[in-house]
Structure 1
């Protein structure tokens, strides 16, 4: 196995992490943030990642490095993190996209977050934005990053990990199942532009 290092993300990682974050849910990001521009979602995520607050901020993310090169990204959130970051995310979206397009994006994003994927429960550390570069698949980055988040949960006295995975991403679901996550339900999409999502939890022993 490669020598993998997990470290907190920094604003300087944005040029690498935007594509990794985008790869974790391209259809969802395009549906909410693309604003009819081919590179709209990537540009938005790049800008938001560098901000000090919000759901997409570097402060909520960790990167996986091999030989000093960033090859993976993972985010983790508590219910409190989500609640506190919502205002910053909303203001950042409006600032970046403008008032009208920003409000439209927020309406889409809120529906996605509360109808298709569920907000974190109080007793869960929620995993999101998991991405690795195509050439690094098979190196164990995903397992290593999730193990890191598990250690964070234990340090905080949180008893479960949780996440949502698209039904068209069986490779990711298989990884999570190997790491003891269980599917607890499936949310049906309300639009053909988005996929059904399965909710998974891992009860820490």
Structure 2
């Protein structure tokens, strides 16, 4: 198996956006689709190709097996560009228009209260997703390895991620890789792992 991890590009959209949606399907459909999967998918395609902000390709890595995209991940930290949040909001208003975007932001606020942003000493991991036919082949582990390299580069002491409490499979996967339970705010559980020395 030839596994390669690289920065994402706009051209990865057809493979990457379904993985992005899978990474938090119910949450993303609720926020960006108001319950409609297609609406959420269309927004994520727009945001991905736009490049910037939370859902743009520029802040994602993809894992490829023989040039086929099979995994996805992003990282958040205190050294993100100053306009990161503004770019995320711009992609929402450009796609939905001003009136609908206010509803999107309001729905988003309901969930963001339960999500813990990373501290200055932490690297936040998000949108981690592996295609169903590529699981149990080390793809998720390899993506987390890239995140740990990034954490060391940024001099972070820990990696954190939020997982839905009900997602037992994901929780067990992270626990097997050394993550422990950290903070709980329904419906999410934040998990944490110390960054190992290189």
Alignment TM class, shorter chain as reference: over 0.9
Q: TM-score, normalised by structure 1?
A: 0.91
Instruction: Work out which of the residue numbers 98, 122, 125 in structure 2 matches 1:124.
Output: 122
Counterpart in 2 of 1:173? 171
Aligned length: 196
Counterpart in 2 of 1:135? 133
Give the Cα–Cα distance (whole angstroms) in 2 for the partners of residues 160 and 63 of structure 1.
22
**Root mean square deviation of aligned Cα:** 1.5
Give the Cα–Cα distance (whole angstroms) in 2 for the partners of residues 99 and 164 of structure 1.
29
Instruction: Work out which of the residue numbers 183, 190, 195 in structure 2 matches 1:199.
Output: 190
After TM superposition, give the deviation of residue 125 of structure 1 in Å: 0.8
SS at match of 1:122: coil
Runs of 4+ in 1 over 6 A off after TM superposition: none
Give the Cα–Cα distance (whole angstroms) in 2 for the partners of residues 129 and 107 of structure 1.
21
Deviations 1:23-62 (A, max 9, x none): 0111100110004544011111111011131111111100
Deviations 1:97-120 (A, max 9, x none): 11111111012213322x111122
SS at match of 1:174: helix
Alignment of 1:72-83 (within 5 A): 72-81=71-80
Give the Cα–Cα distance (whole angstroms) in 2 for the partners of residues 88 and 132 of structure 1.
26
Distance 1:82 1:142, change over 3 A: farther
Give the Cα–Cα distance (whole angstroms) in 1 for the partners of residues 153 and 117 of structure 2.
21
Alignment of 1:40-79 (within 5 A): 40-79=39-78
Give the Cα–Cα distance (whole angstroms) in 1 for the partners of residues 139 and 81 of structure 2.
25
| Gapped regions of structure 2 (runs ≥ 5) | none
Give the Cα–Cα distance (whole angstroms) in 2 for the partners of residues 109 and 83 of structure 1.
21
SS at match of 1:129: strand
Give the Cα–Cα distance (whole angstroms) in 2 for the partners of residues 91 and 120 of structure 1.
23
Give the Cα–Cα distance (whole angstroms) in 1 for the partners of residues 96 and 77 of structure 2.
27
SS at match of 1:76: strand
Q: Which moved more, 1:78-87 or 1:145-154?
A: 78-87
Give the Cα–Cα distance (whole angstroms) in 1 for the partners of residues 140 and 121 of structure 2.
23
Distance 1:36 1:24, change over 3 A: closer
Counterpart in 2 of 1:94? 93
